[in-house]
């Protein structure tokens, strides 16, 4: 391509809302433009990079034996009703109705689509396992899209789905996909951190996220420097840390005793009032829970809630309230809580609901005598003794409360937010934390969709079975943006060779006479050799050309000038120094550099 034919509207100034490097540089380099809030258009240079990232993803998916499909972006709402996610996905899902009043969804993800497609085609165990994938447009109606391609409303994802007759087969594909993901990100020049993660709205029994470190990351990563334990804080667990001495460290036979605490509501106020520490308190919080799928029929207080039985699945509860107990110096992790309750969402109850359900003002709730609500108890409370809790009455707390003796949990679970300084459950080393952005996520979905959507096959004995299922997603746009976040400097982008819009740019100091002839000759040689090459034939000052090429990040720059001919100056974008190479050897030298750069990426991915 010659620059005189290229559309590359570079910018000196960028909008003030472009706060991260990738957003700023993609705009400045003329690679994307904002069409509306959360909606972007790829311009020619940006689209070339996008296609290269997409190619790498496709090659690694094909290498696993996955088969590519191309479903529609608009999908029938009825299949989302079958799975139950029409009700639970919430306002992030864009629903539309066509002229014949058919409900449609602008696809935010494709579990329903592929389950519906394959249930009509798969009838025998002989057709399994099978892995299918798409690289397609998605839409999620983000409340506050930001950071350019990192969190847009419309985006492109690769999502793959596997169907199996047993868990052993699913485990193998899950492992293979994890390896393929590592290859994708290495080939793109990215340093990823694989972490344990929550399955969220996707459901399932196990998942792993692939994160890149980012100052503006949406995720908090909990990492062990010794054994390599890594998890999103929505999933991270830690070693128990019971009180080892002092009040609250040993069981007590003393009966719980009421103590007057006038206008003392918070943990800090209680610590001052009782001259003790937060880890001696049991904090009780009331949550409103949406779409809980656990059986609450025998839980305390649940007789007041109406059980709903939608067509898609077993009974679930559209709205309930529960109480959560946790040690006073810890915080409840609401994602963990929702996962343990198999709920779509949990939020702290309003003051009005707290008072209505506990019979006491906010700040005086406690587990002793609480019969109006199911009680979820964090694991930290199991190790507590001789504790202080709210007494379900104004200006009153209980002292000498003994968990297990004075109250009983309906559900005991890990709902604690793990933070830096907590200890690793594997080796007891203190954790540290980093901010990260998710690029890919793999799930073991199990039977969540194949059962609710009635997908069956006949096994070896002719019996009808549901296949078990896996799901594997990569954000293509976010991967592209993350490459820039990791590979840039003050002058612009530094693309790895594998994804660069062009591998080489030829810059004649002046596109005329012998310089133009030499530039055209080298351009023809490289093009014939299959190199993606850009020839800057503009009538611009050399400094302008150099600045533009540094900005757009072409990996190899070849400069031709009267002073150096018959030699040319070859410089890598990632290096400071240039080399003089005879023009007659330039094509072979450039090809060797390209192959070396590509091979280093392939070797690191092998």
Tens-place pLDDT, residues 37-92: 999 999 999 999 999 999 999 999 999 999 999 999 999 999 999 998 888 787 88
Over range 12-22, report the average pLDDT: 88
pLDDT digits (tens, 9 = 90+) for 551-560: 999 999 999 9
3-state secondary structure of 49: helix
User: Per-residue pLDDT averaged across 574-581, rounded?
Assistant: 92
Residues 451 and 521 in one domain: no
199 has a pLDDT exceeding 60: no
Nearest to 564 by CA among 502, 519, 505, 529: 519
pLDDT score of 310: 44
Cα distance between residue 60 and residue 63, in whole Å:
5
How many alpha carbons fall within 13 Å on the CB side of residue 114?
A: 22
Please report the pLDDT score of residue 120 as a whole number: 96
- Write the DSSP symbol of residue 124: B
Confidence of residue 314 (pLDDT cuts 50, 70, 90): very low
* Rounded mean pLDDT, 102-106: 95
Beta bridge partners of 312: none
Q: Which two tokens stand for residue 522?
A: 């080298």
The answer to whether position 117 is within a domain reads yes
One domain, residues 401 and 453 = no
DSSP per-residue string spanning 296-351? -TTSTTGGGSPPB--TTSS-BEEEEEEEEEEETT--B-HHHHHHHHT-SEEEEPPH
In a domain, 89, yes or no: no
- For residue 201, pLDDT over 80 is answered with no
Shared domain check, 542 and 514: yes
Distance CA 138, CA 153 (A): 8
- The pLDDT of residue 126 is 98
Banded model confidence at residue 313, pLDDT cuts 50, 70, 90: very low
- The contacts found for 113-116 with CB under 8 angstroms, 24 or more apart, are 113/71, 113/75, 113/79, 114/69, 114/71, 114/161, 115/79, 115/83, 115/161, 115/449, 115/450, 115/453, 115/455, 115/469, 116/79, 116/82, 116/453
Residue 132: both structure tokens together: 């299918």
Q: Could you report the per-residue pLDDT of 409-431, keeping only the tens digit for each? A: 999 999 999 999 999 999 999 99
Tokens 């798969």 belong to residue: 122
Which residues, at least 6 apart from 475, have a Cβ–Cβ distance to it below 8 Å? Answer: 155, 156, 157, 438, 439, 440
Residues 508 and 536 in one domain: yes
Statement to judge: residues 471 and 506 lie in one domain: no
Residue at token pair 């503009």: 538
Which of residues 361, 378, 413 is at a domain's end? 413
Q: Is 62 left (phi over 0), alpha (psi -120 to 50) or beta?
A: alpha
Number of neighbours of residue 472 by Cβ within 10 angstroms: 27
Residues 364 and 323 in one domain: yes
- pLDDT the model gives residue 243: 85
CA dist 385 and 545 (Å) reads 72
Same domain, 527 and 598: yes
Q: Average per-residue pLDDT in the chain?
A: 91
Residues 453 and 525 in one domain: no
Over range 182-199, report the average pLDDT.
88
- Nearest-angstrom CA–CA distance, 343 and 437: 24
Q: What is the pLDDT of residue 290?
A: 85
Boundary-marking domain end, from 378, 413, 448: 413
pLDDT of residue 258: 95
| pLDDT value of position 211 | 93
Give me the pLDDT at residue 294, please. 83
Whether 534 and 6 have beta carbons less than 8 Å apart is answered as yes
Q: Kindly report the CATH number assigned to the domain that includes residue 362.
A: 3.90.960.10
- Residue 374 belongs to domain spanning: 257-413
Answer whether residue 307 shows pLDDT above 60.
no
Cα 117 from chain centroid (whole Å): 26
pLDDT in tens, 115-146: 999 999 999 999 999 999 999 999 998 888 88
| Predicted pLDDT of residue 186 | 96
User: Is 94 inside any structural domain?
Assistant: no
In this prediction, residue 603 carries a pLDDT of: 59
Using alpha carbons, list the distances in angstroms from residue 248 to 265, 279, 369: 20, 8, 21
Contact predicate 239/425, CB 8 Å: yes
Alpha-carbon distances of 148 from 14, 26, 254, 325, 554, rounded to whole Å: 12, 9, 60, 40, 22
Q: CA 237 to CA 422: how far, in whole Å?
A: 9
Query: What is the pairing mode between strands 533-535 and 411-413?
Result: unpaired
Asked if residue 471 is part of any domain, the answer here is yes
Q: What is the pLDDT of residues 364-378, one digit of tens each?
A: 999 999 998 999 999
Backbone angles phi, psi at 28, to 5 degrees: -60, -40
Least confident of 131-145, 291-305, 575-589: 291-305
Q: Is the pLDDT of residue 344 over 70?
A: yes
Place of tokens 């994307």: 32
Whole-prediction pTM: 0.84
* 537 lies in some domain: yes
The predicted pLDDT at position 308 comes to 47
In a domain, 101, yes or no: no
- Give, rounded to a whole angstrom, the gap between the first and last alpha carbons of the chain: 32
The answer to whether residue 513 is domain-embedded is yes
Question: What percent of the chain has a predicted confidence (pLDDT) above 90?
Answer: 79
Residues 312 and 370 occupy one common structural domain: yes
471 with 513, same domain: the answer is: no
Closest CA relative to residue 282, chosen from 395, 390, 379, 414: 390
CATH number for the domain that contains residue 44:
3.30.930.10
The confidence score (pLDDT) of residue 312 equals: 38
Q: How much is the average pLDDT of 320-340?
A: 94
With a pLDDT cut of 70, the percent of the chain lying above it is: 95
Strands (E) across 394-450 are located at 396-401, 411-413, 432-446
Q: For the ranges 283-297, 390-404, 490-504, which has the lowest average pLDDT?
A: 283-297
Are 144 and 27 in a shared domain? yes
Among residues 367, 383, 413, which one ends one of the domains? 413
Q: pLDDT tier at 203 (50, 70, 90 boundaries)?
A: very low
Is 80 exceeded by the pLDDT of residue 297?
no
Domain identity same for 69 and 189? yes
| Nearest-angstrom CA–CA distance, 481 and 94 | 25
- Total domains in the chain come to 3
Indicate the pLDDT class of residue 444, thresholds 50, 70 and 90. Answer: very high
Residue 576: CATH number of its domain: 3.40.50.800
Q: Is 508 exposed, middle or buried (0-12, 13-18, 19+ CB in 10 A)?
A: buried
Confidence of residue 582 (pLDDT cuts 50, 70, 90): very high
The yes-or-no verdict on residue 303 having pLDDT over 70 is no
On whether residue 96 sits in a domain, the answer given is no
> Model confidence over 499-548: pLDDT tens digits?
999 999 999 999 999 999 999 999 999 999 999 999 999 999 999 999 99
């Amino acid at each position: 391509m010659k620059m005189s034919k290229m559309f590359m509207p570079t910018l000196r100034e960028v909008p003030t809302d472009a706060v991260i490097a990738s957003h700023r540089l993609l705009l400045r380099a003329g690679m994307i433009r904002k069409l509306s809030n959360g909606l972007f258009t790829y311009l020619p240079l940006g689209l070339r990079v996008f296609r290269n990232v997409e190619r790498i993803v496709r090659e690694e998916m094909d290498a696993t034996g996955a088969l590519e499909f191309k479903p529609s972006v608009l999908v029938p709402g009825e299949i989302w009703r079958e799975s139950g996610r029409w009700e639970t996905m919430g306002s992030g899902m864009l629903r539309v109705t066509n002229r014949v009043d058919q409900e449609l969804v602008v696809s935010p993800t494709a579990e329903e689509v592929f389950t519906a497609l394959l249930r009509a085609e798969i009838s025998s165990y002989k057709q399994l396992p099978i892995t299918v994938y798409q690289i397609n447009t998605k839409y999620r109606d983000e409340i506050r899209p930001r950071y350019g391609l990192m969190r847009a409303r419309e985006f492109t994802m690769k999502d793959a789905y596997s169907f199996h007759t047993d868990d052993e087969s699913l485990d193998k594909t899950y492992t293979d996909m994890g390896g393929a993901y590592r290859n994708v990100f290495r080939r793109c020049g990215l340093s990823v951190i694989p972490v344990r993660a929550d399955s969220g709205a996707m459901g399932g029994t196990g998942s792993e996220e692939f994160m890149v470190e980012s100052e503006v990351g949406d995720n908090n990563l909990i990492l062990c420097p010794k054994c390599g334990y890594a998890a999103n804080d929505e999933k991270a667990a830690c070693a128990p840390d019971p009180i080892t001495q002092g009040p609250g460290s040993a069981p007590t036979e003393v009966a719980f005793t009421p103590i007057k605490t006038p206008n003392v509501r918070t943990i800090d106020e209680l610590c001052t009032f009782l001259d003790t520490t937060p880890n001696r308190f049991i904090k009780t919080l009331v949550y409103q829970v949406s779409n809980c799928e656990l059986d609450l029929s025998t839980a305390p207080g649940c007789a007041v809630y109406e059980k709903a039985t939608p067509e898609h699945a077993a009974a679930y509860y559209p709205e309930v309230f529960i109480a959560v107990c946790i040690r006073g110096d810890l915080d409840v992790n609401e994602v963990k809580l929702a996962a343990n309750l198999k709920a779509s969402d949990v939020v702290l109850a309003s003051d009005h609901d707290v008072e209505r359900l506990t019979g006491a003002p906010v700040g005086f709730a406690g587990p002793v005598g609480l019969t109006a609500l199911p009680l979820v108890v964090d694991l930290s409370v199991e190790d507590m003794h001789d504790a202080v809790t709210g007494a379900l009455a104004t200006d009153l707390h209980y002292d000498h409360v003994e968990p297990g003796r004075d109250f009983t949990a309906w559900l005991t679970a890990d709902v604690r937010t793990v933070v830096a300084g907590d200890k690793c459950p594997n080796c007891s080393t203190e954790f540290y934390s980093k901010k990260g952005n998710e690029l890919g996520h793999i799930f073991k979905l199990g039977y969540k969709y194949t059962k609710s959507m009635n997908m069956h096959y006949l096994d070896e004995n002719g019996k009808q079975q549901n296949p078990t299922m896996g799901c594997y997603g990569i954000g293509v746009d976010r991967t592209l943006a993350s490459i820039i976040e990791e590979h840039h400097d003050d002058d612009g982008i530094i693309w790895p060779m594998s994804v660069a819009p062009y591998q080489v740019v030829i810059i004649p100091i002046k596109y005329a006479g012998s310089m133009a002839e030499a530039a055209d000759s080298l351009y023809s040689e490289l093009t014939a050799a299959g190199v993606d090459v850009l020839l800057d034939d503009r009538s611009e000052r050399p400094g302008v050309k150099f600045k533009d090429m540094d900005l757009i990040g072409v990996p190899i720059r070849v400069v031709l000038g009267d002073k150096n001919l018959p030699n040319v100056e070859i410089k890598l974008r990632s290096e400071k120094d240039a080399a003089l190479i005879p023009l007659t050897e330039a094509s072979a030298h450039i090809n060797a550099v390209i192959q070396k750069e590509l091979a280093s990426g392939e070797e690191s991915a092998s």
